[in-house]
Chain A
């Protein structure tokens, strides 16, 4: 009898083993090597304390339900996973966790962007929100592309880049032309020591970009280097000279061969750099 019971017990274990082992199929549903929960959870972000309820406007709580006192309510609403971690703060240099030789000094190209869709594929991460284009001027010292000056300020900085002569003054780039100086686009790769007041900063992933007068920069330690407009960057102003262009029914702005999608961010009119 005891032997029979043992046999039945073992059979039960065996049956359920088979039932659970395959669920839902060859280890395919949880696919990534998650770090698990050995890492300590970060401290919960400080939140603004919930103001006391309008108790004076409410009828007194019935005595039968005293347990629902406001001071006993949890101030933190529990979430299903404790909150996402490292949002916008990823370590791109983290070695790839794969079974192959990967050099820790690998190059991480964080700006490549492809688009496989021809319809609407230019759109960025913000929804399209049309607002009229109002050309922006960055003060009296700033001049738009093509602007001609017969003389430059004495503190304009001369530099040579890619065998071309440039002058830089207050965020504007000039080249000699017709006996004077004409405003030209910021040459990509050029390095300037400082940006004038009024520049914007914009984040694309973990990278901080600086924007002034239609040009984007990254800070290199030696100064600010002109870069190609990064897809995904959001700026609030476009200089005079941008042209509206209809693409797939939407009105985009084109300035210096870069496409800008009109968007709304935090209730403000803005533009996002997109690849058409």
Chain B
């Protein structure tokens, strides 16, 4: 009896080990994401619209769906304008290479952070220090593919499908605490058109979905749009780092 139990445990252990040691990485999926990252990495400027839906968990009602729409304008190496409108209110972010300015249109108040750094350093730093997230910023990271691979137990190219009438590559992946899908346009620019994340590690498995539309490649964006001038009677407040929040 003891030997049988030991054998059974050994089989379970070996089976679990085999399962844990298998990764499936589809090189076609990697090649598509590589191309997208290479194109984005070569852009001097761009603009796009992000329509996002995301779940907020409620103990009483379960998952509540929210949505935002953001217009994003980027100019290398250190300029950003983000205009957001949706369930979280109307707010703008301006980054002129020296300061990140946050302005709430609803409250007519603004805050500023000194950020004399590159665009991606600002996005990364502000995200880590202040918890501010920029929509679809994942796609902008130069290490995007490596970062996805580092979290992927599975990464597979599923085939061609359409998003918003445009033909695109459909890629799906699975990590330890999330599953994710990317839709990359099947055209010369290979730009991201859609992303879905399912947080399997969180209670009720909330989802984040972002649709990226109206891509403009290397538009001529005047510097003036990235500068922030506080509106009349706008109240200045201090942005609080995450470490100061309870």
User: Which size bracket describes the interface of B in this complex?
Assistant: 35 or more
B33-88: which have CB < 8 Å to A?
Answer: 34-35, 37-38, 40-46, 52, 54-57, 66, 68, 70, 74-77, 84, 86, 88
B107 near A88 (CB under 8 angstroms)? no
B240 near A17 (CB under 8 angstroms)? yes
Interface size on A (CB < 8 Å)? 75
A204 CA to B142 CA in the complex, in Å?
A: 21
Known: A86-B146, A96-B23. A125 touches B38 (CB 8 A): no
Tell yes or no: A69 within 8 A of B by CB: no
Tell yes or no: A3 within 8 A of B by CB: no
Name the one of B27, B45, B74 contacting A206, with C-beta atoms under 8 angstroms: B27
Q: Mark contacts of A96-129 with chain B using CB atoms, 8 A cut-off: 1 yes-contact digit, 0 otherwise.
A: 1111111101111111111111001101110100
Closest approach, in angstroms, between the C-beta of A233 and any C-beta of chain B?
10
A179 CA to B138 CA in the complex, in Å?
A: 65
The stretch of B4-12, B149-157, B223-231 that contacts the partner chain: B149-157
A182 CA to B70 CA in the complex, in Å?
A: 66
A114 CA to B38 CA in the complex, in Å?
A: 25
A24-79: which have CB < 8 Å to B?
Answer: 24-37, 39, 77-79
A91 CA to B123 CA in the complex, in Å?
A: 25
Closest approach, in angstroms, between the C-beta of B130 and any C-beta of chain A?
6
The stretch of A8-16, A139-147, A192-200 that contacts the partner chain: A8-16
B23 near A103 (CB under 8 angstroms)? no
Name the one of A21, A24, A81, A96 contacting B152, with C-beta atoms under 8 angstroms: A96
Residues in chain A near residue B238, CB distance under 8 A: 12-13, 16
Q: Nearest CB to that of B23 among chain A residues?
A: A108
Residues in chain A near residue B166, CB distance under 8 A: none
Query: What is the predominant secondary structure among interface residues of chain A facing chain B?
Result: loop
Query: What is the predominant secondary structure among interface residues of chain B facing chain A?
Result: mixed
Name the one of A23, A33, A82 contacting B150, with C-beta atoms under 8 angstroms: A33
Name the one of A26, A29, A35, A85 contacting B137, with C-beta atoms under 8 angstroms: A29
B151 near A207 (CB under 8 angstroms)? no
Name the one of A15, A25, A84, A124 contacting B40, with C-beta atoms under 8 angstroms: A84
Q: Nearest CB to that of A21 among chain B residues?
A: B131
B124 near A29 (CB under 8 angstroms)? no
Tell yes or no: A87 within 8 A of B by CB: yes
Tell yes or no: A92 within 8 A of B by CB: yes
Q: Nearest CB to that of B78 among chain A residues?
A: A78
Closest approach, in angstroms, between the C-beta of B205 and any C-beta of chain A?
12
B74 near A80 (CB under 8 angstroms)? yes
B116-172: which have CB < 8 Å to A?
Answer: 118-121, 123-124, 127-128, 130-138, 140-153, 156-161, 169-170
